[in-house]
C-alpha cells in the first residue's frame, strides 16, 4: 500500500471565464513517470513554451520529480505562476522548506519614518490581478492584505503570492505595506514576507503592547537571518475597546512604530453598535487614537470608508478626519485616492495664511526681532510652527512650489 501523503493531490489558484491574471494548478504526485504537464491557456500561442519551461523549473526546485500536472491559465504573470505551483505542491505534501523565488527587481529606497501616508490602498492578497497596476493610481502606499480579504482556506497560498509580488512587482513610489494576520498566524506570514523587505507591516487587532513585542521580535530575528538592515516599520491597528484603552502604551512600545490606525468594523462590532457614516459612535475612539499617536510623536491614520460609490460621503469623512488630526486613511478602491488626497490637502485659504505667517516669521528673523507679528496681531511660536509644517506638507503634496 502507498502512503496516503504520497498520492495526495494538491490544487491552488483559480480559473474560469471570469478569472483574469490567475491560474489553477493541480498536482497529482506519482511514484514514477516523470513530470507530465497538461497546459491550457489563452496566451499559449505567445507564452506556452515559457510557461511549460517555468513549470518544469519550479517543480524541479520543489523536488517534485514525478507528477501529473494540470494547468489552467488565465493570463497569469510569471510571479503568479510560480506562487500557484508552489502552493499546489505544498498542498500535495511536497516542497517543504523550499522556496521558489521569482527574479527580484531592484528594491526601492527604504521608506522614511515620517513620510506622507495620506492614502493606503488595500489589495486582497489572493487576487493577483489587482497587484499588477495597483501602484499606478498614485496612492502613498499599497497594502498587500493577508488578513480579512483572504479566506481562511487561502492563507497559505496568498502568503506566497504576496511574497512573490514583493519581489517581482514594481510598486513605483508607493510604500510597500503588508497586513499580516492576527497573531499567532501572522507570525507565519512574517516568515515568508520579511525576507522580501516590505517597508511596513500592519499588525491587526492589537490590544496590548505584548503583541507588538511578539511581532517585533520575530521580524528582528528574520532580518538577522537574512542580513536585512533597512527598517521595516510597524503600524498597529486598534480594533477593540481594549485596544483603544491601551492606545498610548501600544504606540510607545516600539521605536519601529510610525503610525497608529483604527479598524472601525471590528471596533463597532466589539461595542455592539451600528457603524454610521456620521461616525458618532466611534468619535471617542478616533480621538483617542489621534491623541495617543500625537503624544507618541507618530502619525494617526484613520480607518477606511467602505462605500466606494459614495464619493460625497468619502469626501465629508476625509475632511472631518483631517479636522480631527488624522494624517490619512485607507482606501478600498483606486477611485477613492484622489478624493482622499483632496480632502487631506490644505485649503487655499490655509495655505495663503500660512504663507503670510511664514513670510512674517522670516522677516522677523532677518530683522532680529523676537516677536513675529502679522498686521496688528502677534503670532505665537506654535502658530509659526504649524504654518511651517503646513507649508512643508503642501509642498510634499505638490500643491505649492
Partner 1 sequence: MVDGKARDQSGAAEAIEDVMAILDKTELVTNAAGRMVPETVNGRTQTAYMGVGKYQPRGNKAAPPIRTAADYPATGDKRVADLETALRKCGLRDGMVISSHHHLRDGDRVALMALEAAARIGVKDLMWFPSASFPSQKGAIELMESRVIDHVEGSMNGPLGDYCTQGKMRGMGVLRSHGGRWQAIQDGEVHIDVAVIAAPTADPFGNCDGSHGKSACGSLGFALADSTYADHVIAVTDNLVPFPCIPWQIQGNNVDYVVEVESIGDPAKIVSGTTQITRSPDRLRIAEFVARFLRDAGILRNGFSFQAGAGGIALAFVSYLKQMMKQAGVKARFVRGGSTKYLVELLEEGLTDYILDGQTFDLDGVRSMADNPRHVATSPFTSYNYHGKGNFASLVDAVVLGATEVDTNFNANVVTHSDGRLLHGIGGWQNCLAAGCTILAVPSFRDRIPVIVDEVTTLCGPGELIDVVVTERGIAINPRRQDLLDAVKGSKLPIRPLPDIKKEVERICGGRPQRPKRGERPVAIVKWVDGTVLDTVWQIP
Exposure string of 24-35, with b = 16+ CB inside 10 Å and e = fewer, is bbbbbbeeeeeb
Residue 276 CB-half CA count within 13 A:
7
Among the listed residues 35, 65, 78, 223, the single contact to partner 1 using CB under 8 A: 78
Binding residues among 26-55 for partner 1 as defined by CB under 8 A: 42-43, 45-50, 54
Q: Alpha helix (H) ranges present in 9-154? A: 44-61, 78-91, 128-131
Q: Of 147-155, 252-260, 332-340, 364-372, which part binds partner 1 (CB under 8 A)?
A: 332-340
Interface with partner 1, residue 342, by CB under 8 A: no
What H or E segment, with its residue span, contains residue 109? none
| Separation of alpha carbons 234 and 254, rounded Å | 8
Single out the residue of 335, 321, 318 nearest to residue 137, CA to CA: 335
Among the listed residues 107, 273, 335, 396, the single contact to partner 1 using CB under 8 A: 335
For 97-110, the DSSP string reads: T---PPPPPPPPPP
Strands 377-379 and 372-374: antiparallel
Site string for partner 1, 265-284 (x = CB under 8 A): --------------------
Evaluated on CA atoms 291, 292, 296, 302, the torsion sign reads: negative
Single out the residue of 317, 299, 297 nearest to residue 307, CA to CA: 317
Among the listed residues 27, 76, 174, 206, the single contact to partner 1 using CB under 8 A: 76
Coil, helix or strand for 260? strand
Q: Of 180-188, 283-291, 327-335, 372-380, which part binds partner 1 (CB under 8 A)?
A: 327-335
Give the nearer residue to partner 1 in terms of CB position, either 325 or 338: 338
Give the nearer residue to partner 1 in terms of CB position, either 176 or 286: 176
Q: Of 8-16, 132-140, 150-158, 194-202, which part binds partner 1 (CB under 8 A)?
A: 132-140
Q: Of 1-9, 181-189, 227-235, 333-341, which part binds partner 1 (CB under 8 A)?
A: 333-341
Residue 323: count of CB within 10 angstroms of its CB: 9
Site string for partner 1, 134-153 (x = CB under 8 A): --xx----------------
Compute the least distance from the CB of residue 316 to partner 1, in Å. 21
Compute the least distance from the CB of residue 334 to partner 1, in Å. 4
Residue 202's beta-bridge partner residues?
Answer: 179, 235
Kindly list the residues in this chain that would bind partner 1 in the complex (CB under 8 A).
20-21, 42-43, 45-50, 54, 74-78, 132-133, 136-137, 333-335
Amino acid at each position: 500500500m502507498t502512503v496516503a501523503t504520497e498520492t495526495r493531490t494538491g490544487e491552488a489558484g483559480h480559473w474560469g471565464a471570469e478569472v483574469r491574471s490567475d491560474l489553477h494548478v493541480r498536482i497529482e504526485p506519482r511514484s514514477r513517470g516523470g513530470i507530465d504537464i497538461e497546459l491550457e491557456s489563452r496566451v499559449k500561442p505567445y507564452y506556452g513554451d515559457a510557461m511549460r519551461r517555468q513549470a518544469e523549473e519550479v517543480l524541479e526546485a520543489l523536488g517534485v520529480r514525478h507528477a501529473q500536472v494540470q494547468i489552467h491559465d488565465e493570463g497569469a504573470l510569471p510571479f503568479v505562476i510560480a506562487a500557484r505551483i508552489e502552493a499546489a505542491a505544498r498542498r500535495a505534501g511536497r516542497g517543504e522548506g523550499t522556496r521558489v523565488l521569482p527574479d527580484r527587481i531592484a528594491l526601492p529606497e527604504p521608506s522614511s519614518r515620517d513620510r506622507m501616508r495620506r492614502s493606503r490602498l488595500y489589495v486582497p492578497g489572493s487576487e493577483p490581478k489587482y497587484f499588477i497596476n495597483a501602484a499606478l493610481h498614485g496612492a502613498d502606499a499599497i497594502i498587500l492584505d493577508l488578513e480579512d480579504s483572504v479566506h481562511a482556506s487561502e492563507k497559505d497560498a496568498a502568503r506566497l503570492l504576496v511574497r512573490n509580488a514583493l519581489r517581482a512587482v514594481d510598486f513605483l513610489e508607493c510604500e510597500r505595506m503588508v497586513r499580516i494576520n492576527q497573531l499567532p498566524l501572522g507570525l507565519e506570514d512574517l516568515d515568508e514576507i520579511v525576507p522580501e523587505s516590505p517597508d511596513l507591516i500592519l499588525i491587526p487587532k492589537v490590544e496590548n503592547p505584548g503583541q507588538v513585542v511578539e511581532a517585533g521580535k520575530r521580524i528582528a530575528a528574520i532580518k538577522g537571518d537574512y542580513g536585512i538592515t533597512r527598517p521595516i516599520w510597524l503600524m498597529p491597528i486598534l480594533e477593540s475597546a481594549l485596544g483603544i484603552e491601551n492606545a498610548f502604551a501600544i504606540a510607545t512600545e516600539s521605536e519601529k512604530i510610525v503610525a497608529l490606525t483604527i479598524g472601525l468594523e471590528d471596533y463597532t462590532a466589539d461595542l455592539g453598535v451600528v457603524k454610521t457614516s456620521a461616525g458618532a459612535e466611534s468619535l471617542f475612539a478616533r480621538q483617542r487614537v489621534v491623541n495617543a499617536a500625537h503624544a507618541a510623536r507618530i502619525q494617526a491614520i484613520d480607518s477606511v470608508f467602505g462605500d466606494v460609490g459614495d464619493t460625497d460621503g468619502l469626501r465629508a469623512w476625509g475632511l472631518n478626519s483631517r479636522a480631527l488630526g488624522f494624517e490619512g486613511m485607507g482606501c478600498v478602491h483606486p477611485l477613492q485616492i484622489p478624493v482622499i488626497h483632496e480632502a487631506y490637502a490644505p485649503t487655499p485659504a490655509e495655505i495663503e495664511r500660512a504663507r503670510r505667517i511664514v513670510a512674517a516669521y522670516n522677516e522677523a528673523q532677518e530683522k532680529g526681532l523676537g516677536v513675529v507679528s502679522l498686521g496688528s496681531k502677534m503670532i505665537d511660536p506654535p502658530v509659526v510652527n504649524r504654518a511651517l509644517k503646513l507649508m512643508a506638507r503642501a509642498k510634499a503634496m505638490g500643491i505649492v512650489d
